[in-house]
Amino acid sequence: MTHLLRETASQTAGPYVHIGLAPRAAGFDIFERDFGPVLATPGTRGERIAIEGRVLDGSGTPVRDVLLELWQANAEGRYAHPADRQPGKALDPAFRGWGRACSDFDTGVWRFETIKPGAVAGRGGVAMAPHVNLWIVARGINIGLHTRMYFDDEPAANAADPVLNLIEWEVRRATLVGRRESREGGPVYRFDIRLQGEGETVFFDA
């Protein structure tokens, strides 16, 4: 039998995760270049959107020390990664598709500025609805939580999405859908993540 090493054990990111991953949020400047929450650059193709929300704990209290990372495809539905070999979809040199955001220490609100992704092929030829992937770490979270945000203005694509359809409880699928709001400055998708309790967000093991 092939010998497999065991994955290194996860540990919580702790309350001071910002020092390592977003030092300006911790209150100091150290790196020439920080990784931040703005994914769209002036040359990026696609519809400019923002995604914002809060992470709520099991008591409904906003988690004010959370850090999220977002990973998404470009406007054509292609990831900037060599494993994505979908035919007929171009890379966008002005879009990496990745960013990280911290919740505000007072309000708990986090926000990404990005573009709406295109649909990415799913397994075996069933297209996935447009979505962004989110990874959530904080004090009290022992292993990073993976989830997805879909878009509420894509009802037909969402209804056919092979991942959403794997969630046996239809009522829980709605926890993965961001709500589009028109605001000055452009559309914003509002997406609250509930770690526990009523309306608990679906988290994935992939």
Segment 148 to 167, residues that bind other proteins, using CB under 8 A: 148, 163, 166-167
Q: Name which of 108, 107, 79, 99 is nearest 91 in CA terms.
A: 79
Query: Which residues in the 61-100 window bind other proteins by CB under 8 A?
Result: 61, 63, 65, 69, 71, 73, 79-87, 96-98
Structure tokens at 41: 């650059």
Q: Which is nearer to other proteins, 46 or 122 (CB)?
A: 122
Neighbours of 106 (CB within 10 A): 8
Q: Write the interaction track for other proteins spanning residues 110-139; mark x where CB under 8 A is met and - where it is not.
A: ----------xxxxxxxxx--x-x-x-xxx
Beta bridge pairs of residue 112? 51
Check binding of 58 to other proteins (CB under 8 A).
Answer: yes
Q: Which stretch binds other proteins (CB under 8 A): 42-50, 60-68, 150-158, 177-185?
A: 60-68
The one-character DSSP state at 4 is: -
Q: Which is nearer to other proteins, 41 or 142 (CB)?
A: 142
Q: Which stretch binds other proteins (CB under 8 A): 24-32, 45-53, 149-157, 177-185?
A: 24-32
Q: Which is nearer to other proteins, 50 or 141 (CB)?
A: 141
Check binding of 142 to other proteins (CB under 8 A).
Answer: yes
Q: How far apart are CA 104 and CA 107, in angstroms?
A: 5
Secondary structure of 53-93 in the HEC alphabet? EEEECCCCCECCCCEEEEEECCCCCCCCCCCCCCCCCCCCC
Size of the site for other proteins (CB under 8 A): 86
SS3 151: strand
The one-character DSSP state at 170 is: H
